[in-house]
Amino acid sequence: MKLRLRRPRDLALAIRELARRRPREAEEYLDSHAHEWTSLAAADPHDAADILEALDEEAAAELISDLAPNEAAEVLEEMRNEAAADLLEELTAAEAAGVVAELSADDAADIVEHLEVDARTAIFEELTDEHVGDILHLLQYPADSAGGLMSPGPATLPSGITAGEAIEALRRLHEGLENLNYVYVVDHGGRLVGVVSFRDLVFARPLPPLDEAMVANPVAVRPETDREEVADLIRRYNLLALPVVDHRGELIGMVTIDDVIEAVQREATEDIAAMVGAGVEETIYTPLVTSIRHRLPWTAVNLGTALVIALVITRFESIIEQFAVLAAYMPVVASVGGNSGAQSQAVIIRAMAVEGIPVQLVRKVLRRNLMIGLVNGLAVALLSGAIAGLFTANLRIGLVIGLAAQVNLLVANIAGSGIPIFLDRLGQDPALASNIFMTMVTDLVGFGGFLVIATMLL
């Protein structure tokens, strides 16, 4: 097989697509074109990472072992942490340690966190005590905290020096620093006292003291600060990075905007998973037993709610036998209610994630959703009732369906907005399986309310 493409970028994209569609052919091609693989990995680690994630672990391990440790580390940095960990477990401890040694401490910690205990221990035995200590220091912080996101060792300068001396100091330090968007100023005890952007520092006059160019008492967070708050501060103050300080005010790291973007993406995906009762940390790399353990309890809850609804319906067998057409329209009422509730729920959870909902606005938010349910419910009631009455040639059935739709949309909008707010007030994640509870309410009202109204009017 030949891929006749002139530009390296086109070749990388072609191999990536081949790996996703026909991974076996991609493996054979890369095995027989080793030079193209090493050139691709060196030139574009992003595409190389995508290719490895599309292949099975053994093939990916063979390809990563063909690279120099520093090049392999660059590729691993672009992979999903779980996938990178699985790949390292396929290598020998010495090979894996050689790659991990080339990673920054924060990137290494993100990957090592997902290793099996035995594999982690074997790799640590091959690393220096200093590198292991740096990784373990970061692993003590939760992954969703500022400490779990931060990069240790940001660019620092002592207070009291001139701007010219600061530039000269950074020239000596630049090789060991990955990010120079901001330079932090610390006192003799390492406590954060100011920050200056690298741009302002370059254009500052050389003789005045650095204190004149810096912003004193910058916004900072503690390592235990939740990632949502970190993201909110970076967004609110238009920052490229945020310093992390300990309880003494000593600078211990910084969270960059790219780390925050990744964290926000993870938060969004976790919220989606939580809304439907899946494990918030579950991915396609999660062990089978763990996924089953996360999902089964909420599946059982869902089964319980469905049985309750079934029990309610059985209480109205007589009316269903008398008017069999009702069975066809019950799912319609429940469906429009569920959709309307999901819309309200999505808006509320998004508002909570972006800026929160102050206590004083809760009643206003609920009233607003009540009015939306009332107006939309009226429109749907008139339309569905007219259609049902026309098709069944029975105006009473049309009236039943219209009233049931009106009631269900009203309740759905209150449930969709009220359940996340209620969970939040209990100190729980507002996305935590709220979709399951909201669906339970709309189905109960959609089926049960429908049959109650039918019994009263028919």
pTM over 0.95: no
Record the tokens describing residue 105, joined without a space.
């401490």
Greater model confidence, 259 or 273: 259
Break the chain into its structural domains and give their ranges.
Answer: 8-140, 156-258, 288-457
Sign of CA dihedral 372, 373, 377, 378: negative
Q: What is the pLDDT of residues 194-215, one digit of tens each?
A: 999 888 887 888 888 888 889 9
SS3 call for 281: coil
User: What pLDDT, in 10s, does the model give residues 418-457?
Assistant: 888 888 787 777 766 677 788 888 888 888 888 888 888 8
Please say whether the beta carbons of 215 and 194 come within 8 A.
yes
| Percent of the residues in the chain that have a pLDDT greater than 70, as a whole number | 90
Was domain 288-457 assigned CATH 1.10.357.20?
Answer: yes
Q: Are 277 and 302 in contact (CB under 8 A)?
A: yes
Whether 353 shows a pLDDT value over 80: the answer reads no
What separation in angstroms does the CA of 266 have from each of 270, 371, 420? 6, 34, 19
Task: Give DSSP secondary structure letters for 35-95.
Answer: HHHHHHHHH-HHHHHHHHHHS-HHHHHHHHHTS-HHHHHHHHHHS-HHHHHHHHHHS-HHH
What is the pLDDT at residue 425? 80
Q: Is the pLDDT of residue 237 over 80?
A: yes
What would the mean pLDDT of 339-346 be, rounded to a whole number?
85
DSSP-assigned beta bridge partners for residue 192: 186
Residue 331 has pLDDT above 50, yes or no: yes
371: CB partners within 8 A, 6+ apart? none
| 8-140 maps to CATH 3.20.20.100 | no
Question: What pLDDT is stored for residue 178 in this prediction?
Answer: 63
- Please give the mean pLDDT across all residues of the chain: 85
Residues 156-258: name the CATH superfamily.
CBS-domain (3.10.580.10)
- Given a cut of 50, is residue 5 above it in pLDDT? no
Quickly count: other Cβ atoms within 10 Å of residue 95's Cβ. 18
pLDDT of res. 273: 61
- What is the DSSP secondary structure assignment for residue 446, as one 8-state letter? I
Q: Is 156-258 the same fold as 8-140?
A: no
C-beta separation of 419 from 434 below 8 A: yes
